[in-house]
């Protein structure tokens, strides 16, 4: 892998079903506002889906970002093997949207999303299997 040398940390943004939920790593060193980081992560996931429609973006993606010369850059997308829980130093569990709404996210929310996603997926597959037999 070849990537630029940067003086700040990499941000790991948890994106569930196309929506950025939380920065998993300690949030320091970026000049870009948190809301813009979330919007960028959502935008690049949508672009990934557009260019590679078979990509499973309705589940978990972690978008790893750098800030280079004041611009956000994708380092990588991770999914099934990504660490999806907050690090101890993470400070960005909540953020304020443009309309003033404060959104928050916890590891419990992540666990609940994963459980619901796979429960729903199993039910869907079982229903499809029954329909195919009939």
Task: Write the pLDDT tens digit of every residue in 108-130.
Answer: 888 888 899 889 989 999 999 98
The two three-digit tokens of residue 75, written as one number: 């380092």
pLDDT score, position 3: 63
Q: State residue 120's pLDDT score.
A: 93
For the chain, domain boundaries: 11-105
Tell me which residues of the chain have a pLDDT lower than 70: 1-8, 27-28, 87-96
Model confidence, pTM: 0.74
For 94, residues 6+ apart whose C-beta sits below 8 A from its C-beta are: 102, 103, 104, 105
Domain 11-105, CATH class in plain words: alpha beta
**Model pLDDT, residue 26:** 74
């Amino acid at each position: 892998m070849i990537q630029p040398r940067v003086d700040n940390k990499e941000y790991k943004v948890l994106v569930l079903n196309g929506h950025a939920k939380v920065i998993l790593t300690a949030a320091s060193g970026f000049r870009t506002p948190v809301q813009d980081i979330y919007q960028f992560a959502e935008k690049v996931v949508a672009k990934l889906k557009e260019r590679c429609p078979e990509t499973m973006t309705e589940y978990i993606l972690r978008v790893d970002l750098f800030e280079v010369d004041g611009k956000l850059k994708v380092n990588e997308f991770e999914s099934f093997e990504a660490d999806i829980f907050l690090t101890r130093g993470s400070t960005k569990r909540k953020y304020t949207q443009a309309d003033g709404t404060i959104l928050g996210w916890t590891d419990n929310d992540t666990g609940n999303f994963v459980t619901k996603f796979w429960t729903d997926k199993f039910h869907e597959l079982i229903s499809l299997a029954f329909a195919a037999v009939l």
